[in-house]
Amino acid sequence: MLDWLYNIVGWVLIEIHSALTSVGLNPDSGWAWGLSIVTLTVLMRLIMVPLFVKQMQTQRKIQEMQPQLMKVRERYKNDKQRLQQEQMKLYQESGTNPLMGCLPLLLQMPVFFALFNVLRNVAEGHARYGFTPELVESAQNAAIFHAPLAAQFLMSNRELEGYGADPIIAKAVIVIACVIMGTTTFLTMRQSMNRSTVQMPDNPMAQSQKIMMYLAPAFGLFGLAMPIGVLIYWVTSNVWTMGQQHFLYRKPAEGSGEGAGDAAKTASPNGSAKGLLGKRKESAPEPVEEPKIERKQPRKQPRAKRSGGNQRKG
């Protein structure tokens, strides 16, 4: 069903490899094929930048809606169906689609599976998805740090030796690649979680996100069953995500004139209080002295006068 996507990914990978070899790289080297995978990943992420910007805008809208969402949650906390209806109503009225928050990730997954499938077929020696038998042999034998791009940790020593690799060195390189993949996945998730926690401190999913963040290094274990070429894709994608989030989230905070910087300052955990208090101090009006009201105490009358007055009244 997804052969059309596999064909596209295979064709793009072959074209990038051809372009790199035309500038002097050895077509059978691991660097030519490895850089082809990196370039494919970067091109895919560049295409998805507008979606990431849309995701960022959606998160900001949801942040602005938090007071309303909290009121709805409090009002209908015992009626989940009504709660969902009212929340969707708020999203529709504000023109916000919560699904945009995970759309970039959803679109990355098919490309990941497509590249995984293409490299798996290369490892198995199948000339499919635009690969000729010559290209399959070239990609199979291409190695980075003495580890073939098609190699997996779970392969037998005989299979690794069939690629002309030392099994011990190849598996050591794969383990290091898996550790890097797990670490970058953890850092990416922590960066994203810190951002969402700052923007939405009452986020009910914060605890689940925190658990997922600390389970992220376990993704490195899945890497043991992946070809090194897929690990290169995953690490490149993680590094790109970290840089992209840092740049796009930081840029509005440094600007001025539209209130973006003030919003970022009030949102940051360390600088928010200082920035907010500093702003209030500058904008606070100087106290105006009120006129003093002098109270005059009535003079005490002599006892004779007071008694005389009482006698007259009597």
Residue 299 scores a pLDDT above 90: no
Residues 243-252 have pLDDT tens digits of: 888 887 775 5
What pLDDT was estimated at residue 273? 38
Least confident of 13-17, 33-37, 159-163, 279-283: 279-283
Residue 220 scores a pLDDT above 50: yes
Mean pLDDT of the chain: 76
Least confident of 14-23, 222-231, 261-270, 294-303: 261-270
Looking at per-residue pLDDT, the higher value among 9 and 56 belongs to 9
Nearest to 161 by CA among 146, 179, 182, 144: 146
Residue 84 scores a pLDDT above 70: yes
Query: What's the pLDDT band for 113 if we cut at 50, 70, 90?
Result: confident
Residue 19 scores a pLDDT above 90: yes
What pLDDT was estimated at residue 283? 44
Query: What's the pLDDT band for 257 if we cut at 50, 70, 90?
Result: very low
Query: What's the pLDDT band for 73 if we cut at 50, 70, 90?
Result: confident
What pLDDT was estimated at residue 164? 84
What's the mean pLDDT in 295-301?
A: 56
Residues 182-198 have pLDDT tens digits of: 899 888 888 777 765 54
Residue 176 scores a pLDDT above 60: yes
Q: What is the dihedral of CA 199, 205, 207, 212, to 10 degrees?
A: -100
What percentage of residues in the chain have a pLDDT greater than 90?
A: 21
What pLDDT was estimated at residue 270? 45
What pLDDT was estimated at residue 72? 83
